[in-house]
Amino acid sequence: MKMLKHIIIALTLVIMSSCSDWLDVNENPNALTEVPSGELLLKGTLLANTQIHKGHLLRSSMYYTGGLIGLQLVQNTIYIYNFTPGDANSNWTHLYNGILVQNNKIKEISPDLDALEGIIDINAAMALGTATTIWGDIPYTEAIPDNPGLTVKPAYDNQVDVYSDVQDLLDKGITTLQNAATSLSGDGKDADIFYGGDLALWIEAAHTLKARNYLLTKDYAAALTEVVNGISDPANTMAYRPIGSVSGNSNVIFNLVESSRAGDMTANGTFFQDLLDPANANGRNHAKTDETARRNFMYISGDGGSADGIDAADAVMPLVSYEENLLIWAECLVRTGDNLGAIAKLNELRAHLRSGNAFNVVNGGDTFLYDDFVLADFQAAGIENVDAIAEDRAILREIIEERYVSGYTSYMPFNDMRRLKKSDADVIVPFPLNTATATANVERLLYPRSEIDTNPNVPSPLPDIFTVTTVNQ
């Protein structure tokens, strides 16, 4: 790992990843200058996190969960399971240089801004949690923001330990913000592109992130203790909100399809689109559910963003959402024996979906329907249990399927597939493998070439993309 020290880039970092899907808010990305306040570096760390969660690796995970099809060139190569170490270089750099090194510099420049410190701790914990989910063991102890002895060849920590340490970092961030004696200045509020300096919203997001990590490690009881303080309203969702059709400042999917990569990938013909298709007798539409409008909103042609769809230039890109918090809540309730409570949380989400505020209606005539569920819907021969499985399993199956849909363009489908395959094969979303010769689902993405070539501590033998991570074994 090439841990660059003492780099301060004017106002923000340039956030770039492979295939030209990038976010750029610098006029001169190579200019180095002294920065009077750490607040001016905040935007760069948040953009780095956006790229980790919405860039090249996220798109790769969608190829492996039925959400996108790679048609040609690099996108097709990845789609047919030829993911290479070089495909991970950019996101690794976003994490260790774009977030952790920059966080150290922020704390050095502005040691008394406790509100800023709490925000960057939560942001780092979010990125580190996703990184250990994607890669398994990662450098942590010798690379965390509070460690003054950053090394260019850090040791790797076990995935289980990283999850635990990330939870501690989230607790630290929450406590710091709850007790903060400072707030972000005007420049700092502008730099906080997620929440505009609203510390209460950062605290809510941190609780949902804690619940996410507990869910991924199957500690469902602990996750329940966090969701009650998690994201409480759709308006509180943490998201990247693009400027629009401004070069480099648009929705990340739009940036790709509007570049020279147009036509390289598509959602046309995917399992995801078929699942939401009212014409598909095996899909998720029935007398209480009509997914026509949401399906059209979530369609990615790959040839150009739709004006109002999920790939529009100005389409908001959720990072930690109200929907995720409700669905974690619902899953943990059913797993702890509260079937009616789980249905109630599903119905809270369905109320949001039918409000007309959850997604844009792309075509004027598109219909949608999300009537409330009742317990009988999940009992044998009910509308959500035509194959007469156990009542709680039918509820759980619908929750997991809704996570698959609501989590489109996030790591949620990829994480759930790996989390549930061993213990819950009866309720997992049954998307197919991509090639006739494939025999297994992807279990992780590869360590980056830059790390393999420079850090002798990288795990050996190197795991391939089908090697199960520790928490999913």
**What does the domain layout of the chain look like in residue ranges?**
18-431
Residue 14 binned pLDDT confidence (cut-offs 50, 70, 90): very low
400: nearest Cα among 386, 419, 381, 383: 419
Q: How far apart are the first and last CA of the chain?
A: 27
pLDDT at 359: 97
116: nearest Cα among 197, 195, 225: 197
Residue type, 131: A
Tens of pLDDT, residue by residue over 311-320, are 999 999 999 9
Could you tell me the two tokens for 364? 């004027």
Average pLDDT, stretch 462-466? 98
Q: What is the mean pLDDT of the chain?
A: 91
pLDDT at 257: 79
Residue 249 binned pLDDT confidence (cut-offs 50, 70, 90): confident
What's this model's pTM, rounded to 2 decimal places? Answer: 0.93
List the single range of 12-16, 341-345, 466-470 with lowest mean pLDDT.
Answer: 12-16
pLDDT at 289: 98
Tens of pLDDT, residue by residue over 207-246, are 999 999 999 999 999 999 999 999 999 999 999 999 766 6
pLDDT at 150: 54
The CATH class, in words, for 18-431 is mainly alpha
CA 150 to chain centre: 27
- Of residues 98 and 248, more confidence is placed in 98
Backbone torsions φ then ψ of 318, nearest 5 degrees: -65, 140
Average pLDDT, stretch 91-106? 94
Q: Is the bond preceding 461 in cis, omega lying within 30 degrees of 0?
A: yes
List the single range of 16-20, 245-249, 333-337, 456-460 with lowest mean pLDDT.
Answer: 16-20
Which DSSP category does 257 fall into? H
94: nearest Cα among 450, 408, 416, 459: 450
Query: What three-state secondary structure class fits 41?
Result: helix
Tens of pLDDT, residue by residue over 346-376, are 999 999 999 999 999 999 999 999 999 999 9
Which DSSP category does 446 fall into? P
- Of residues 29 and 310, more confidence is placed in 310
Furthest C-alpha separation in the chain = 68
Distance CA(311)–CA(268), nearest Å, equals 14
pLDDT at 24: 37
Distance CA(30)–CA(242), nearest Å, equals 23
pLDDT at 1: 45
Got the DSSP string for 319-374?
A: EE-HHHHHHHHHHHHHHTT-HHHHHHHHHHHHHHHHTT-SS--SSTT---EEPPP-
Q: How many CB atoms lie within 10 A of CB 430?
A: 11
Residue 22 binned pLDDT confidence (cut-offs 50, 70, 90): very low
200: nearest Cα among 172, 227, 180, 223: 180
Average pLDDT, stretch 259-269? 88
Could you tell me the two tokens for 107? 């704390």
- Of residues 262 and 473, more confidence is placed in 473
